[in-house]
Amino acid sequence: MRVVITGGGGFLGSHLCDALLRRGDRVVCLDDFSTGEPGNVGHLRGHPRFQLIRADVTTGFDVAGPVDAVAHLASPASPPDYHRLSLETLAVGSKGTENALRLAVAHRARFVLASTSEVYGDPAAHPQREEYWGNVNPIGPRSVYDEAKRFAEALTVAYRRRMRADVGIVRIFNTYGPRMRPNDGRVVSTFIRQALDGQPLTLYGDGSQTRSFCYVDDLIRGIVAMIDADLLGPFNLGNPREQTVRELAELVREATGSDSGLEFLPLPVDDPTRRRPVIERAREQLGWSPRVPIDEGLRHTVAWFTSGSVARRAATEPNLGMSVGR
C-alpha cells in the first residue's frame, strides 16, 4: 500500500510511519511541524519508501501518484498547544479533514480519522462506550479541540453517506511513549520531566481523577488494523485499565527512581473526572487489545526521556505547563 499520513511528524504519526514501513508499505508523511518534530522522522530520511512533504493540510494539498489509504492524524493534541493554536485547531478539524477526505475520494482510497476520547467531554456515563454521545461544553476552554474532532467525525460520516467514501473512525484515549515532547504539557511527559529534574510532581485537584493510559506501540497496532479494515466504527482505542492520576505519579516516581514530592493545584475548568474506554467493539471487530503493561511502558518512555537527544530538545523547547486531562 501507499499510505498518506497527515501529521506524520507528530508523536503518533511518526510511530505510524515506522509501523507501515516495517511491514513493507510506502509512506507519504505530511506535516507543517507546527507541533510535530522533524527529528521524529529524521531517521527515515533517505528511506526508499518514505516521502516527506511539508504542508499545511488546511490550505489544500495534493499528492502525486497512487494513494491507497489516508490516515488523518494532523491536529494539535495537547491542551497547551490547542489553547495556543485555537483557530488552527478548528481549521485542521474542519478544512484539514475535508482536504484529506477529498484526497481519499479522488484516489478511491481508504480514509481513517484519528479522533479522540475528548469527544466524550467530561463524561456523564462511565465507562465510555462508542454509543455515548458525550458531555461537551461547546464554549468552554477545551472546546476548540473537542468540537473540532466532533465536527471531523460528522464530516467523515457525511462523506460516507454522500460520496460513498471508504472511511473509518478511531477514538484515541490517553497514549504515552517515546517521542512525546518533554514540555508538551501532557501528564505523563510532565511527570517524567519533573521527576527526572527533581521537581515536585504537579497534580490538579486531589489527584483522584482517573485516566487510562495506552502505550504507543499498542495504539499504533489499532490504527494499522483500522487502515486494513473496511469498517466505519467508531472504535475506542485505549487501555481499559483505569487508574488515578496520583497512582500514575507514584508509578513515575518508581520508574525514574525519584524522590520528588507532590504539589497540588486547583483543577482546570471542564477537566474530565473519569475516563476509561470500553473496547469490546475493537476486540471483536478489529481483533485488537492493548498488551503492554504500564510499568513496562513507563520504563521504555523514561529510557527515551533520559537519552541525550531528548535532553537537548527539552532545553530548547518552551515549557507549556501541564494539563492533567491529557
Q: Please, where in the chain does CATH 3.40.50.720 lie?
A: 2-175+214-237
Mean pLDDT of 56-73: 96
Mean pLDDT of 127-155: 96
Amino acid 66: pLDDT: 98
CATH topology of domain 177-212+241-271+292-316: UDP-galactose 4-epimerase; domain 1 (3.90.25)
pLDDT above 50 (res 307):
yes
pLDDT level of residue 270 (50, 70, 90 thresholds): confident
Residue from 82, 120, 132, 145 carrying the catalytic annotation = 145
pLDDT above 70 (res 228):
yes
pLDDT above 60 (res 1):
yes
Q: Which three cell numbers stand for residue 288?
A: 485488537
Parallel/antiparallel/unpaired status of strands 26-31 and 235-237? unpaired
176 counts as catalytic: no
Residues 13, 14, 20, 23: is their CA dihedral positive or negative?
negative
**Chain center to CA of 270:** 19
59, 34 Cβ separation under 8 angstroms: no
DSSP assignment letter at 135: B
Amino acid 309: pLDDT: 54
Overall pTM > 0.85: yes
Just give the CATH number of 2-175+214-237.
Answer: 3.40.50.720
Segment (H or E) for 3: strand 2-6
Mean pLDDT of 200-222: 95
DSSP calls for 173-215: --EE-TT--TTS--HHHHHHHHHHTTPPEEEETTS--EE--EE
Q: Please, where in the chain does CATH 3.90.25.10 lie?
A: 177-212+241-271+292-316
Instruction: For the chain, give the mean pLDDT.
Output: 93
pLDDT above 50 (res 325):
no
